[in-house]
Structure 1
Amino acid sequence: MSETLTFPPLMTGEPTAGDVMERAALRATMGCDAGLVVYNLGADALSAALVFAPEVPLAQAMAMLPLCGVGFQNALGALAPPEVAVHLDWAGGIRINGARCGGFRVAASGSDPDAVPDWLVVGLFLPLWPASDTPGDTPDDTALYAEGCADVQAPLLVEAWARHTLNWIGRWESGGNKVLHDEWRGLAHGIGEQTTQGGLTGTFLGVDDAFGMLLRDAETTHLIPLTTVLEDLA
């Protein structure tokens, strides 16, 4: 079982030995308060899931996915050596020094983009050590401690992620998506590059006001809503 962590006011922690997304969704369905952080600190990986109680339709509440990513970048940036670069994939992936290193998942009580969900959960998943003894075989995938972050303690990183995410929630509530968009764009991976998403392949031009992906192919520009990355935990 994971050790007990300390969280800022308005947040509470709950360790689990199982899947943090499933546990957080269960607790949300049972009516827990927003701000619950379910976490699992393993020997080789860490995971944590944050429960939200949105007051806006799902399409707008999905901004919590990039918001949690920005919170993570700020947290690791404060704990890791300055030369460690952190970037964010549109669909939730994390890039450390250019290589894939875990990422975020998101689930909600429903999938209707125009309805206010009862709850929304964003989960963080981060490998600490490489899965293989020969990481050179998979150069596009990495782990935290393989990227010069061996001194970053997993418990402190989860606590810092919670603090920085809470700070960004406050900034988002007062400044809306624009302030978040401005920060996220500077961390986004792959803008201007060829990518495939939702069965479509084209140039990733950026995002719209609701963080939908703008993907340009030979014929037109497609808008892929961020709600398409929702997971069904049922």
Structure 2
Amino acid sequence: MSTTDDLAFPPLLWGEEVTTDAFDHACQRALLGCDAGLVAYRITASVLQGALVFAPEVPLAQAMSMLPLCGVGFQNALGVMAPPEVAVHLDWDGGIRVNGAACGRFRCMASTSDPAQVPDWLVIGFTLPLIPASDRPGDTPDQTSLYAEGCAEVQPPALLEAWARHTLNWVNRWEDDGSRALHADWRALVQDMGEEVTQNGLSGTFLGVDEEFGMLLRDGETTHLIPLTTILEPAP
């Protein structure tokens, strides 16, 4: 297993290897006032976890763009390392898809759930299964793992480093140029756009997203807006 000393994170980011859940650890550190830029991570034979602490300077509704941003950073990182035939897509609510099947997901938590408030901290983290959860993967054809999709050559420590680099690059682009480029890249990766979906108890056609990545869901004559803040996990 790699230690923090072995992993190279870009400037402004630093790593803490944990033996517990990386997302929970990052949230606890954020709650206690750690600086932004902490990357908590856990690498085992069966799972890769990474979580990044942000200190947003914009209201939560805008800061939630960090969820799709981290997802695009992940796709960029894995897309370079995986064989060319491996397709990586993203669910609106943080799910990761590899070759169409669910393969882990992103989670998010913030110091506030008020979309208009600037949060003290925001944590975005992912869990990626490396090997199948059971000996009978045929029982769950809609669930997969990284190595089951032909990515056995992908080294988890290198994937984590690349995710951090690509994510930081996207943060800089987002801060300098706004969200137009992020919207364009994310739209090309999001699963089920134009399809019938169910989200937050509502069913309809997933038309797209608004400026802050809120889901536009058309149900008959009505178009509902589901803010991205609705998928935040409650802070302790």
Name the TM tier (shorter chain). over 0.9
Is this contact kept in 1: 2:23–2:126, CA < 8 A?
A: no
What is the CA–CA distance in structure 2 between the aligned matches of 1:80 and 1:233, rounded to whole Å? Answer: 35
Match of 1:147 among 146, 149, 167: 149
The aligned residue for residue 117 of structure 2 is 115
Offset of 1:219 from its aligned partner?
2.9
SS of the equivalent of 1:185 reads helix
Alignment of 1:97-136 (within 5 A): 97-136=99-138
What is the CA–CA distance in structure 1 between the aligned matches of 2:84 and 2:177, rounded to whole Å? Answer: 28
What is the CA–CA distance in structure 2 between the aligned matches of 1:2 and 1:90, rounded to whole Å? Answer: 32
SS of the equivalent of 1:180 reads helix
1:191 is the counterpart of 2:193: yes
Offset of 1:141 from its aligned partner?
0.5
Offset of 1:29 from its aligned partner?
2.0
Is this contact kept in 2: 1:196–1:202, CA < 8 A?
A: yes
Structure 2: gaps of 5 or more residues:
none
Offset of 1:177 from its aligned partner?
1.5
Inter-CA distance 158–227: structure 2 relative to 1 (3 Å threshold): same
* Equivalent residue pairs, number: 234
Structure 1: gaps of 5 or more residues:
none
Offset of 1:3 from its aligned partner?
2.5
Tell me the alpha carbon deviations over residues 84-142 of structure 1, each in whole angstroms, 9 at most, x when there is no partner: 10000000000000000001000000100000000000001100000111211111110
> AA paired with 2:147?
Y
SS of the equivalent of 1:186 reads helix
Alignment of 1:1-234 (within 5 A): 3-4=3-4, 5-234=7-236
> Identity across aligned pairs (percent)?
69
SS of the equivalent of 1:210 reads coil
> AA paired with 1:75?
A
> AA paired with 1:128?
L
What is the CA–CA distance in structure 1 between the aligned matches of 2:180 and 2:10, rounded to whole Å? Answer: 25
SS of the equivalent of 2:220 reads coil
Question: Which has the larger displacement, 3-12 or 77-86?
Answer: 3-12
What is the CA–CA distance in structure 1 between the aligned matches of 2:223 and 2:64, rounded to whole Å? Answer: 21
